[in-house]
Amino acid sequence: MAKGLNQAVDTLDFSPPRTPEFLAAPPPSVFEEADTIVNGDREQTYGHPAKNLHATALMWKAHIEAKYGIVVPLDAFDVAWMMANLKQCRQMHMHKRDNLVDAIGYIGLEQKIRDYNARTGSEKQCNANQQASSRPASGQLSDSGSASSSK
């Protein structure tokens, strides 16, 4: 009898019971996932998004000026919105959850940039830089689309 009991015990499954799928926690929404990314450890990896996006804006401005000879006033907000536009275009081509999460995250960065600027006074400095750099030089297009000239 002991041998039969040992064999019976050996066949028992003592692993924790599996949770039925209908009881499992649902995956996070795209909003929750974007929030986790934007407010998670990404800032420790890449620095504050306001600083990172401002640096990107400076690089894009320099690229456009060097390539096309025009000065375009760009700031961190522009970069965040243009990155969201990139994700929108990708989503229009092919649906991927990642596009939705990233677009929401980039749009959500606007508030982080505003909070950072209010805390550090960066917005005043950024606006002063924008006004100085947005004056079209001779032969460049103004905001109205007409060429300016130096006399």
- pLDDT top residue among 142 and 81: 81
Residue 35 lies in a domain: yes
Residue 16 lies in a domain: no
CB 60 within 8 A of CB 79: yes
Q: What is the pLDDT of residue 136?
A: 44
What does the angle CA 107 – CA 45 – CA 53 come to, to the nearest 5 degrees?
40
CA distance 25 to 21: 8
Q: What is the pLDDT of residue 1?
A: 57
CB 109 within 8 A of CB 45: no
How many helices (H) and strands (E) the chain has is answered by 7, 0
Residue 12 lies in a domain: no
Residue 17 lies in a domain: no
Q: Residue 2: pLDDT band by 50, 70, 90 thresholds?
A: low
Q: Supply the range of the domain harboring residue 108.
A: 29-133
Q: Give the number of domains in the chain.
A: 1
Q: What is the pLDDT of residue 110?
A: 96
Q: Say yes or no to pLDDT of 57 above 80.
A: yes
Residue 141 lies in a domain: no
Q: Which of 53-62, 80-89, 106-115, 116-125 has the lowest mean pLDDT?
A: 116-125
Residue 13 lies in a domain: no
CB 72 within 8 A of CB 65: yes
Global pTM value: 0.68
Residue 11 lies in a domain: no
Q: Residue 125: pLDDT band by 50, 70, 90 thresholds?
A: low
Residue 88 lies in a domain: yes
